[in-house]
Amino acid sequence: MLHPLMRVVAAVSLFDGVQTILTGVVEGAGKQFHGSYTNLLVFYGFAVPLALWLAFRRGLGVLGMWSGMLCGSVLQAAAYGAICALIRWDREAARVARLHARL
């Protein structure tokens, strides 16, 4: 039987991979400020306090820490997905074409 902690760690790995890929898309599109702000807000404003609360106030220990990080990874992946969805890719492509035309 699989330990409950392993399920949470596996889910963290999955969503962390998704958010890492989307981080690259956001940064590659020149939206580094949005990525930095999202990271600061989600992990330090939400995930870490939640992890500490689950671990120590709710008595979940290590499982609580990983559960907080899971919530942060899911939220960050969703936030980066929203940023990517809101980028006007036709305008970005035209902007990059203008930049490369100057070279």
Q: What is the pTM assigned to this prediction? A: 0.87
Vertex 64: Cα angle to 11 and 61 (nearest 5) = 130
- The domain ranges of the chain are 29-101
At residue 96 the predicted structure's pLDDT band, cuts being 50, 70 and 90, is confident
Mean pLDDT (the chain) is 94
Interval 64-81: pLDDT, tens: 999 999 999 999 999 999
- Rounded to whole angstroms, the Cα distance separating 16 from 94 reads 31
Reading the block at residue 37, the tokens are 């702000």
Interval 24-48: pLDDT, tens: 999 999 899 999 999 999 999 999 9
